[in-house]
């Protein structure tokens, strides 16, 4: 008998594309439905709901049962709505299907919005005690797009305070644990989203990324995090490349692509097929020839993953940018800190300032000291970096580098003070590895590379030329065919 996985792989290989997944025959889904509905991928779940193999109410019950079982341990989902209200919404979604009304590929699927975006009627704290009781009046455009695709909002996903830092802790809800070990951090700032995916408490998740906030949590939870080219999921001025964007996360690349289509503000490709990996050229950056401090084992586990691609004739060469990377860090911090002017009113209010975490106050203070000359220098360096990336992509199809400089660490620690004997001089220096893509505004995806001997997960960034989002995603589809990392599951800790 043909298996679900074999059917899906054959469908993708024959270039049916992701839209073809919605045509999966009902008899296959009905005969091979897993005992636990939450084991279905988001794409399979969508198909099962549309074809009425399972009801939206059944889906909601299954996810609520799982959330009540595991969320008290992992703390991924916050501000949950009442079960009865959610089940009522699921029943309404079933009634709509019975009338032939179909909202979109997420029809009746549970979803939790990252808690730095407002969703009408839901608590909107941004992880700050200043907004612990705030309720959003309207949907953020990202929330509106997801709601428009048919999703039922069950709550929010946890974040660090104001989304700052790659560790999802805050004084309102506490810290979120990694799906692979809840005693360790889930990363951030999309840490709740990634942990919710890795524990299968969510079928898909949205995130955002300035300094690795889709990639670092993806790595720390064994899931996919995709940062699209600037302008794909948010409007930009012509020629402008912001350092921040929103993006999709998924248990696998196919699910990630489906959510990307929902979040995109401009047309993206409809059909995706695994790339032919023969003659693909990858530039492996490692630790940038010693420039970056990395915990022992991080580069090794990534290189093992790259070696697994050798059977597919992928060519991997060590490469280091011909660029002063200290200048890139200077430009990065200048541009990043310039974005803190929106917090000046909070800082100037003594009562509000007392409730801000020290790292945010420090960034605000840095913004006070910047001059127009500093910003001009930073933008010149950024333009030079665009040109350096273009030269690298003239030689290589993709660039690869670890998604983090350390493995997940105890969630009680706010950030790593030291890596491999080198002291980190700022609270975000330990994530310097992600700024190469952020400063370029280029598409980059976190791909899981497995776990170390202690069971700690890691991921690898695959970067593509600006605008080559489709090729990056098609590489990821092919990567999943020759590795099994996205299929590996953690042993979860039950709240009981």
Q: What is the mean pLDDT of residues 441-459?
A: 98
Strand partners, 436: none
Confidence of residue 376 (pLDDT cuts 50, 70, 90): very high
Q: How many residues does the chain have?
A: 496
Q: Say if residue 20's pLDDT is above 70.
A: no
Q: Is residue 162 part of a domain?
A: yes
pLDDT, tens only, 403-429? 999 999 999 999 999 999 999 999 999
What is the pairing mode between strands 398-402 and 418-419?
A: unpaired
**Closest Cα to residue 243, out of 372, 395, 368, 386?**
386
**Closest Cα to residue 33, out of 25, 428, 355?**
25
Question: How far apart, in whole angstroms, are the C-alpha atoms of residue 211 and residue 232?
Answer: 18
Q: Is residue 359 part of a domain?
A: no
In the numeric block, the tokens 């089940």 are attached to 87
Greater confidence, 39 or 4?
39
Q: Say if residue 14's pLDDT is above 70.
A: no
Phi, psi dihedrals of residue 118, rounded to the nearest 5° = -85, 140
Question: How far apart, in whole angstroms, are the C-alpha atoms of residue 356 and residue 164?
Answer: 11
Confidence of residue 30 (pLDDT cuts 50, 70, 90): low
Q: Is residue 266 part of a domain?
A: yes
Count other Cβ atoms within 10 Å, centred on residue 79: 21
Q: Is residue 377 part of a domain?
A: no
Q: What is the mean pLDDT of the chain?
A: 93
pLDDT, tens only, 201-219? 999 999 999 999 999 999 9
CB 66 within 8 A of CB 38: yes
Greater confidence, 35 or 188?
188
What residue numbers bound the domain in which 433 lies?
4-319+396-487
What is the pairing mode between strands 110-114 and 152-157?
A: parallel
CB 78 within 8 A of CB 84: no
Q: What percent of the chain has pLDDT over 70?
A: 93
Confidence of residue 239 (pLDDT cuts 50, 70, 90): confident
In the numeric block, the tokens 């050798």 are attached to 310
How far CA 418 is from CA of 104, 177, 413, 426, 428, in Å, comes to 47, 21, 12, 10, 12
Q: Is residue 337 part of a domain?
A: no
CB 461 within 8 A of CB 449: no
Q: Is residue 343 part of a domain?
A: no
pLDDT, tens only, 284-316? 999 999 999 999 999 999 999 999 998 899 999
**Residue 484 half-sphere exposure, CB side, CA atoms within 13 Å?**
3
Q: Is residue 411 part of a domain?
A: yes
Q: What is the mean pLDDT of residues 178-182?
A: 98
Q: Is residue 390 part of a domain?
A: no
> Reduced to 3 states, what is the DSSP secondary structure of residue 433?
helix
How far CA 246 is from CA of 121, 194, 264, in Å, comes to 21, 14, 9
Confidence of residue 31 (pLDDT cuts 50, 70, 90): low
pLDDT, tens only, 73-88? 999 999 999 999 999 9
Q: What is the mean pLDDT of residues 4-11?
A: 36
CB 204 within 8 A of CB 253: no
CB 224 within 8 A of CB 194: no
Confidence of residue 25 (pLDDT cuts 50, 70, 90): very low
Q: Say if residue 12's pLDDT is above 90.
A: no
Q: What is the mean pLDDT of residues 429-442?
A: 98
Q: What is the mean pLDDT of residues 448-463?
A: 98
Strand partners, 422: 419
**Closest Cα to residue 224, out of 236, 210, 243, 206?**
206
Q: How many domains does the chain have?
A: 1
Structure tokens at 300: 């090794």
Structure tokens at 83: 């079960």
What is the CATH classification number for the domain harbouring 182? 3.90.1300.10
CB 259 within 8 A of CB 248: yes
Greater confidence, 19 or 143?
143
């Amino acid at each position: 008998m043909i298996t679900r996985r074999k059917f899906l792989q054959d469908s993708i290989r024959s270039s049916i594309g992701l839209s073809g997944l919605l045509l999966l025959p009902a008899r296959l889904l009905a005969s091979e439905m897993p005992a636990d509905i939450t084991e279905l991928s988001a794409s399979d779940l969508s198909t099962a709901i549309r074809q009425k193999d399972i009801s939206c109410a059944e889906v909601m019950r299954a996810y609520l049962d799982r959330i009540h079982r595991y969320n008290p341990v992992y703390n991924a989902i916050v501000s949950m709505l009442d079960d009865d209200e959610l089940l009522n919404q699921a029943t309404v979604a079933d009634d709509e299907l019975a009338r032939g009304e179909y909202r979109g590929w997420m029809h009746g699927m549970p979803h939790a919005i990252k808690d730095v975006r407002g969703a009408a009627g839901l608590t909107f704290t941004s992880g700050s005690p200043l907004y612990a009781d705030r309720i959003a009046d309207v949907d953020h455009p990202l929330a509106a797009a997801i709601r428009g695709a048919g999703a039922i909002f069950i709550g929010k996903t946890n974040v660090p305070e104001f989304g700052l830092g790659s560790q999802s802790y805050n004084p309102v809800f506490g810290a979120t644990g990694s799906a692979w070990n809840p005693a360790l951090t889930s990363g951030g700032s999309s840490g709740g989203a990634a942990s919710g995916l890795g524990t299968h408490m969510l079928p898909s998740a949205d995130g955002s990324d300035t300094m690795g906030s889709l990639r670092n949590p993806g790595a720390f939870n064994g899931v996919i995090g995709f940062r699209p080219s600037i302008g794909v999921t948010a409007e930009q001025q012509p020629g402008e490349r912001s350092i921040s964007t929103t993006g999709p996360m998924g248990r696998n690349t196919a699910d990630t692509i489906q959510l990307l289509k929902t979040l995109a503000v401009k047309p993206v490709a409809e059909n995706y097929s695994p790339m032919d990996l023969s003659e693909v050229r990858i530039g492996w950056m490692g630790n940038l020839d010693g420039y970056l401090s990395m915990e022992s084992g991080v580069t090794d586990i990534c290189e093992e993953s790259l070696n697994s691609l050798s059977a597919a004739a992928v060519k991997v060469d060590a490469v280091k940018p011909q660029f002063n990377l200290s200048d890139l860090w200077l430009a990065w911090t200048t541009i990043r800190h310039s974005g803190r002017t929106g917090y000046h009113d909070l800082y100037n209010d003594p009562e509000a300032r007392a409730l801000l975490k020290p790292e945010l106050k420090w960034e605000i203070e840095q913004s006070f000291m910047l001059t127009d000359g500093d910003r001009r220098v930073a933008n010149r360096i950024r333009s030079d970096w665009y040109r350096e990336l273009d030269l690298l992509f003239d030689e290589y199809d993709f660039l690869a580098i670890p998604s983090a400089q350390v493995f997940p660490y105890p969630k009680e620690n706010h950030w790593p003070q030291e890596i491999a004997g080198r002291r980190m001089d700022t609270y975000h220096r330990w994530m310097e590895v992600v700024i190469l893509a952020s400063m370029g505004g280029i598409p980059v995806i976190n791909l899981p590379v497995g776990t170390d001997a202690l069971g700690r997960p890691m991921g690898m960034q695959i970067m593509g030329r600006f605008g080559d989002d489709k090729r990056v995603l098609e590489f990821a589809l092919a990567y999943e065919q020759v590795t099994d990392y996205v299929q590996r599951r953690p042993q979860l800790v039950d709240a009981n």
